[in-house]
Amino acid sequence: MANSDILLFSSSPHVKSPKTTKWIMLNVCIALLPSLIFGIIYFGLKALLLVAVSVLSAVVSEFIYLFITGKKFDEIVKQFDYSSCVTGLLIGLTIGTNYPIYAPIFGSAFAIIVVKMLFGGTGKNIVNPAIVGRIFIFISFQTVITAYLSPNIASISGKTLDTSATALAGLLGQDGVQIFPNLSNWDLFLGTGLSGCIGETCKLAILIGAVYLACVGILNILYPIIYVIVCGLFTVLLNGFDFAFFLPSILSGGLMIGAFFMATDYVTTPNTKIANYIYFFILGLLTAGLRQATHMEVVSFAILLMNLTVPIIDKFIYHRPFGYYKPKKEAK
Amino acid sequence: MKKTNIKTIAVDGLITSNPTFKLVLGTCPTLALTTLAINGIGMGLAVTFVLICSNLLVSLLRKVIPNQVRIPAFVLIIATFVTVVRLVLDKFMPSLYSALGLYLPLIVVNCIILARAESFASKNCVLYSMADGLFTGLGFTFALTVMGAFRELLSSGAIFGVKLWDFEIAFFSSSAGAFFTFAIFIALFSYIESVVKKQKKIKDYAELVKLKEQSAFVGTTEAK
Amino acid sequence: MMSFFKSLWFKCTVVLLAIAVVAGGLLAVLNNVLAVSDKERTTRAIKAIYGTEMAHEIIREYDKNLFAETNDIKYQKYENEYGEITNVYKITNETENCVDYLFKSTGINGYKGGTITLWVKLSVDYNQNYKITSIVMESFDKQTLMSKLDANYYEGFYKDIANEMQNYFTADEKDTSNTLNVATNATKSSRAGANAVNCVIKYVRDGETL
């Protein structure tokens, strides 16, 4: 066994790349920092506390799980690849500041232990752990939460949003009537005066993070853009070709953070380019359609559903080897 | 072939072929009714009663009922007892009756009862069949009660209606939570069973080694 | 001829028939013994509403045979376009200083023409202000999604109707401005429930015996 340090056995391809899982995950963490910073500016130090608790409990629950399964401490530290940090960050960023402090603890622990570790750890989960963690919190502690808090910074346009609902809730007609958000699109983009979750109100910060990820070559930025645009266009279509719906629908709710950081998880997206186009296209249709049908924010549920279809998509769409031709069916 | 006696029947019904955790039968009431521990007990006991009575009658009539019409005959017998349970519950326990609701008449098509009638009662004597009904029913009751208590505790902070703390995770009262709880309990049950089996194997092996040593010792002395 | 009696299908039929007859006989006897009478159901409903049993004065109690015999309006069934009322009881509530009327009202026009039967408690204080204070489900027929009719749904009826009792409840999903709208996701079932309550309101407005 001692030789394993000297000799490394691995299957082909033997390509050296700096892009290890650790490096990628660390970069995703960095890309999420702008959202976190804007979240703290908008919602105060409670936001930082919630996100920190979320990240900490995600990492701790991974450690505890590995410890129970009989790994030694230095082994655990050695294999630690920041992916649970990403999960914890995403869960922390997709809850509101009025959530109780135990909500992210339970959400992160559930996401890491049930969704990630029980399926075999990083890279083997069938759905995105952060999505499931968020949905767990959403289902479990919905009774505690009545409304999202509005941020400390007033809107540019000087108008205020009705505090009882988020911009999206009004847009989707959650209370039976469609109310157009009375904030300007710039407000929706910057998240000023907009109530919502810590990380999802400021779309500018999300885009900064996404551009960073695209620059270091982790994220193919085309995919989430397809998702967002299809979602917006389908909303327009469903509302009788009213293009006034386009920008508000893509700029409100959790669509941006879902598209750029959650849907694009390597593990839970298809393998080939064409399959990815199809995946994100259907995801856009599903999100817009379900939003219209349920009058709720369904980005996380839509991504969860599409995550489950990835194996099917991969089964039918795969790389044809060079020079491959379809074998002719034998005549009967 | 395993020898049939009351002890093996009891172990079978409660543990090795526990209807819920090992055979995964009757999942519909298991998933739907385990929101409260008391519902689990009520449903479990109703099923136990029907199981004992139907096993008794099926076993009594096992030589009379022709093989070709055994299933309709079993269903007739089971349906009779389910109706009896419904009448009794409606009269004496209306609150439980309304809590169990639709799942009470559905006991008729509960596969546990049909399975026990088909695979055990139609082949064994009356006493054993009744014991089998009792222990299978108790195994089902145990499973439902444990799951119900777990879900009740987490989803409303209470156990058997007694409030322990004011903290709730609504996930466990939803149907997703039902599936989750079910899976967790099946895994836990199998794990405990495998550990016990392993311990038993080690013990058996140690005894075997001891016996061999003794016989070897006897053999050598005899050779001398 | 003998071969007919020995044939398999004859034996099968006889066995099945025998089981059915014995089971049927047993159930018939048990049904007689264990049947829950209307009176007991009324006591149960009162217990569900008040927590204890209360002395009640019968104002209306539908009984077809007794009505044919005595022609007393007390035993007649009340019907209108919303449904029918079979039982009305008067309970003097000393603690809350008012008179309660308990109606067993069946609302029509539910899912697939099904009905919902509710026990509706209407409290009348000494200023003749009417208010629905409690509703308990008795039974339902052909309704789906009954779990949607939760405590929240019944809350929608507990409004001060005051002394005129002019307005009826509606169950229309699209109509949100109306405060008397009690629509849930199960629109048709909630309509039947609203009809049952409306039937009571109409009963009082029509000046039927109270």
Nearest to C197 by CA among C127, C128, C109: C109
Q: Closest residue of B to A115, CA-based?
A: B180
Structural domain containing residue A25: 20-140
Identify all chain A residues contacting B176, using CB atoms and an 8 Å cutoff: 139
Residues A186 and A294 occupy one common structural domain: yes
| Cβ atoms within 10 Å, residue A317 | 18
Q: Is residue B1 part of a domain?
A: no
Q: Which residue in B64, B91, B94 is closest to C15 by CB distance?
A: B64
Q: CA angle, A95 as apex, A91 and A98 as ends, to 5°?
A: 140
Residues A288 and A172 occupy one common structural domain: yes
| CB-based contacts of B37, cutoff 8 Å, min separation 6 | B145, B148, B149, B152, B159, B160
Residues A282 and A173 occupy one common structural domain: yes
Nearest to B143 by CA among B48, B15, B11, B20: B20
Give ipTM to 2 decimals. 0.76
pLDDT per position in chain B (224 positions), as tens? 456 788 888 888 888 888 888 888 888 888 888 888 888 898 899 999 999 999 999 999 888 888 888 889 999 999 999 999 989 988 888 888 877 877 888 888 888 888 888 888 888 888 999 999 999 999 999 999 999 999 999 888 888 878 888 777 888 888 888 999 999 999 999 999 899 999 999 999 999 998 888 887 766 655 55
Q: What's the CA gap between C46 and A293, in Å, rounded?
A: 41
Number of domains in chain B: 1
Mutate to test the interface with C, among B33, B49, B84, B103 (most CBs of C within 10 A): B84
Which two three-digit tokens encode residue B142?
Answer: 């145990």
Q: Is B164 exposed, middle or buried (0-12, 13-18, 19+ CB in 10 A)?
A: exposed
pLDDT-derived band at A160, boundaries 50, 70, 90: low
Q: What's the CA gap between A13 and A2, in Å, rounded?
A: 25
Q: Is residue B217 part of a domain?
A: no
Q: Does the CB of C55 have a partner CB in chain B at under 8 Å?
A: no
Q: What's the CA gap between A81 and B58, in Å, rounded?
A: 61
- Phi and psi torsions of A112, nearest 5°: -70, -50
Which helix H or strand E contains B205, and what residues bound it? helix B175-223
Residues A237 and A302 occupy one common structural domain: yes
pLDDT-derived band at A1, boundaries 50, 70, 90: very low
The minimum CA-CA distance between A108 and chain B, rounded to whole Å, is: 14
By DSSP bridging, strand C57-61 and strand C160-162 are unpaired
Number of domains in chain A: 2
Q: Does the CB of B191 have a partner CB in chain A at under 8 Å?
A: no
Which two three-digit tokens encode residue B76?
Answer: 């007739």
CB A193 within 8 A of CB A153: yes
User: What pLDDT, in 10s, does the model give residues C139-152?
Assistant: 777 776 776 777 77
Residues A176 and A309 occupy one common structural domain: yes
- Phi and psi torsions of B46, nearest 5°: -60, -45
Q: Is residue B215 part of a domain?
A: no
Q: Does the CB of B165 have a partner CB in chain C at under 8 Å?
A: no
| CB-based contacts of A41, cutoff 8 Å, min separation 6 | A152, A153
Give domain limits for chain C: 2-34, 38-205
Which two three-digit tokens encode residue A15?
Answer: 């390509």
pLDDT-derived band at A181, boundaries 50, 70, 90: low
- DSSP secondary-structure letter at A327? P
A 163-202 residues with CB < 8 A to C: 175-177
SS3 assignment, position C166: coil
Which two three-digit tokens encode residue A225?
Answer: 């853009």
Cβ–Cβ pairs < 8 A, chains A and B: 18
Q: Which residue blocks in chain A are alpha helix, DSSP H?
A: 21-43, 45-68, 73-79, 83-93, 102-109, 129-140, 167-171, 185-190, 203-215, 222-238, 246-251, 255-257, 273-294, 299-316
Lowest mean pLDDT across A124-128, A178-182, C34-38: A178-182
Which two three-digit tokens encode residue B66?
Answer: 């022709």
Identify all chain C residues contacting A295, using CB atoms and an 8 Å cutoff: none
SS3 assignment, position A238: helix
Q: Is residue B214 part of a domain?
A: no
Structural domain containing residue B116: 6-208
Which helix H or strand E contains C138, and what residues bound it? strand C130-141
pLDDT-derived band at A163, boundaries 50, 70, 90: very low
Residues A174 and A298 occupy one common structural domain: yes
Q: Does the CB of B71 have a partner CB in chain A at under 8 Å?
A: no
By DSSP bridging, strand C57-61 and strand B158-159 are unpaired
Residues A189 and A77 occupy one common structural domain: no
Residue C105's identity, in one-letter code, is S
Residues A100 and A183 occupy one common structural domain: no
Cβ contact, residue pair C34, B61, below 8 Å:
no
As a whole-number percent, the residues of chain A with pLDDT over 70 amount to: 84
